[in-house]
Structure 1
Amino acid sequence: MTRMTPFASPLLLGFDTMEKTLERIAKGNDGYPPYNIERVRSDATSGDPERLLITLAVAGFSEDELDVTVEENQLVIRGRQIDLGDREYLYRGIAARQFQRMFVLADGMHVLGAELKNGLLAVSLVRPEPARMVKKINISVPE
């Protein structure tokens, strides 16, 4: 039996890479670390592009243990805590585990920067308004 996907429509051309990306993200979603995504509103009359803010709860991670990169059309945030072997824990309730969180970016989205404060990593993004483009395609008649 053939599996039908939303991208199997003959009207959606060239979206096979997006389908693979969505499948990969769905498989790797364990919920850690928790995060928020918020739309940062600006004055409607200013004409500023839309801004987004992704905030991840990364308590216990230092700046050196976090890595924020843009790989093709994906924002990838990785964390790896360095376990100091000289500590003796009577109880260890704070996990020192690594993580990787991925966000697919739409065309034109840009990462402005990242800031770590009080155990929260805030990544600022901007989505400029896309230029509306209509292109006339000439029809040729073979002779």
Structure 2
Amino acid sequence: MRHYDLSPLYRSTVGFDRLFSMLDGMSNGDNGTPGYPPYNIERTGENAYRITMAVAGFGQEDLSIEVKEHALTVRGEKKADGESKSEVLYRGIAERTFERRFQLAEHVEVRGARLENGLLHVELVRQIPEALKPRTIEIASGEPQKVIDQKAA
């Protein structure tokens, strides 16, 4: 069983620990294979992240990605080839069905996905609403401001 240490990410993103905890909290894979397919979670910008999964042997038509209620689900199911002319003597490239779930933190949305060189890249962005963003408050000098009451003539 593989375990990835996300503690360096926790240290570099003070206050966003919950995001990584939720991304890291996943269900085990199907068929008793909790490490399949292997994946990476990368931080690509201040509020941008990427999940990269190794899905060798799967094409675009074999993969599906669904986002529902703060959960990202990636499924892979290899369609059976009825026209296989060769006999496989040893199968080292796994083509088994899988389902991998990732819990997404609030305000994280999936921007897109692409498949290249056997790796599935899922791009995530954290969009914080203006009301929740920190704002800077100016500090006034020691003297209070004078208010002049002007009455309309």
Q: TM-score range by the shorter chain?
A: 0.5 to 0.7
Decide whether aligned partners of structure 1 residues 93 and 85 sit closer, same or farther in structure 2, where only a CA change above 3 A counts: farther
Larger Rg belongs to: 2
Q: Which residue in 1 is equivalent to 2:43? A: 39
Whether the aligned pair in 2 keeps the contact of 1:65 and 1:82 (CA below 8 Å) is: yes
What 5-or-longer segments of structure 2 have no aligned partner?
1-24, 134-153
In 2, Cα distance between the equivalents of 1:114 and 1:99?
Answer: 17
Whether the aligned pair in 1 keeps the contact of 2:66 and 2:74 (CA below 8 Å) is: yes
Q: Which residue in 2 is equivalent to 1:139? A: none
Decide whether aligned partners of structure 1 residues 27 and 122 sit closer, same or farther in structure 2, where only a CA change above 3 A counts: closer
What 5-or-longer segments of structure 1 have no aligned partner?
1-21, 43-49, 134-143
In 2, Cα distance between the equivalents of 1:56 and 1:26?
Answer: 15
Q: Does 1:53 align with 2:50?
A: yes
Q: Does 1:71 align with 2:80?
A: no
Q: Give the drift of 1:82.
A: 1.4
Residue identity (%): 50
Decide whether aligned partners of structure 1 residues 59 and 27 sit closer, same or farther in structure 2, where only a CA change above 3 A counts: closer
Alignment length, in residue pairs? 103
Where in structure 1 do 4 or more consecutive aligned residues deviate above 3 Å? 25-29
Decide whether aligned partners of structure 1 residues 90 and 119 sit closer, same or farther in structure 2, where only a CA change above 3 A counts: same
